[in-house]
Structures are given as C-alpha cells and as structure tokens.
Amino acid sequence: MKVIVVKDQAAGGKEGYKVFKDALDNGAKVFGLATGSTPITTYKEIINSDLDFSNCTSVNLDEYVGIAPDNEQSYKYFMQTNLFNDKPFKESFLPNGLASDPEAEVKRYDKVIDEHPIDLQILGLGRNGHIGFNEPGTSRDVTTHVVDLTESTIEANSRFFASENDVPKQAFSMGLASIMKSKHLLLEAFGENKADAVKGMIEGPDTVDLPASILQNHPNVTVVIDEAAASKLS
Ligand code: F6R
C-alpha cells in the first residue's frame, strides 16, 4: 500500500487527479468510479484539466435500490452532475436502481464488470470501514449484490436527503471480490471521522469486520488521506 498524506481534501484532489492522469497516460481504458463527498475534489481537478475520457468506459461501484436514474439523489445523477456532464465517457455503467428483478440486475452488472475489467478503481471509505456498500461482516467472495445498509451508513448518508427516513435502505453494490479484481485501487479518505477506519484499514488486522482491511492483500493500492484522517496512525 502506498500511503500519501496531504494537508486537506483540496490537496487530496490534486493527488487523486495525478493517479487518474498516470493511469490514462499508461493506457487505462476502464475506470471504476465512486460517489459521495470524498471523490468530489478529484473529479473537480479532472474537470478543470484536459484529460479526455471519450475513449474510456466507466463502471460505478453502487446505486441505491428504488431510486430512478433521473432522481437527484441517485448515484447516476451524482455522476452526471459531478463528472460526466463535463467529462463524457464513451460508455458509463451503473446498477439500475429501478430494476424489477434484482437478481437479474446483479447478474447483468457482474457481466458488465467481467466484460470491462477495471484498470483503476477509485474508492471512498465508510466511517465503519465499508468500501462500495460492502458493510462490516460482508463475505469477501461476493460479487455484485443487494445490500441492506447499516444504521451507521443510513445516518451518514442522510446529509444528502431531506430526512433520515428518506434514505433508501438498500443498495446494489459491487462486491469485495469484484473490487479486488481491479488492477489499481485508489482509496481516498478525508476528515477526522474517517481516522478509525483508516487506522483499521492500514494497521489493523485483516478482518471482515472492517471491509477495507482486505486492501492489505491487493498488490497495487494508493491511499490518499488528509492529516485528520491520518491522525490515528501510529
Ligand atoms: C459511494 C460508495 C461509498 C462511499 C463511502 C464514503 O459510491 O461506494 O463507499 O465512498 O460511504 O462516503 P463519503 O465520501 O460521502 O464520505
């Protein structure tokens, strides 16, 4: 694991941007993307650059169940407004939150990932150590699946909704097995409320109770964290 500690999230965005640029320069064609507040500064740096993804494919980590793609709370909408409107990709895949047959949707998404092996996957980190929506206790063998979100995740994500009750209770998520297949992983975490999860991910035991600790087993991980998120590292 290569760990880069920066002053704040703005500086983290610049480091994240460099990782995307290097990947593109080295021929990467498939980018795994994340939503949430963490990757926003990296996406801003990309938007303000001349990087060109028009020959590339994107595959997102997750999507809420029951939310339409044009709903402002959907991850599709997030990607559109935070990246794709300014930096279009040749094709972009996300799980379909409105899929009427979740099992078929899970299979469809696994096929998407198999057919588009991910060169660089960007990840945020949940306060409870989740990556994608692989919550503590999730088996490491699963590929795409439907997740029951934990109370901690629902509460953390309620800041994007009118009330906690409006936060969907389930999501489609790439599984840990799918994430580990990416050639290069870029995990970003900013803020003091990520410090425990960061410590567990880097220094703690490799355990399903802290899903991100699985990254200790991946040969090519870049971690970009700010001083606050790094504050509990020894
Ligand atoms: C989002 C995702 C989640 C978030 C994590 C951190 O696509 O997969 O794992 O990365 O919940 O969220 P933020 O960045 O909002 O702190």
Tens of pLDDT along 151-210? 989 999 999 899 999 999 999 999 999 999 999 999 999 999 999 999 999 999 999 999
Could you list the active site residues? 62, 128, 130, 135
Domain CATH code at residue 99: 3.40.50.1360
Evaluate whether residue 156 is within a structural domain: yes
Percent of the chain clearing pLDDT 70 (strictly above): 100
The shares of helix, strand and coil residues in the chain, as percent rounded to the nearest 5, are 35, 20, 45
Evaluate whether residue 232 is within a structural domain: no
Evaluate whether residue 124 is within a structural domain: yes
The answer, yes or no, to whether any atom of ligand 1 lies below 6 A from the CB of 38, is yes
Give nearest CA residue, ligand 1 atom 15: 36
Calculate the CA 214 to chain-centre distance: 15
Tens of pLDDT along 78-113? 999 999 999 999 999 999 999 999 999 999 999 999
The answer, yes or no, to whether any atom of ligand 1 lies below 6 A from the CB of 124, is yes
The answer, yes or no, to whether any atom of ligand 1 lies below 6 A from the CB of 130, is yes
Q: What is the ipTM of this complex?
A: 0.99
* Domain of residue 71, residue span: 2-171+182-207
The pLDDT score that the predictor gives to residue 161 is 92
Contacts of 41 (CB under 8 A, 6+ apart): 9, 10, 12, 13, 14, 16
The pLDDT score that the predictor gives to residue 77 is 97
The pLDDT score that the predictor gives to residue 189 is 99
The number of distinct structural domains making up the chain is 1
Residue 35 C-alpha to ligand 1 middle, in angstroms? 6
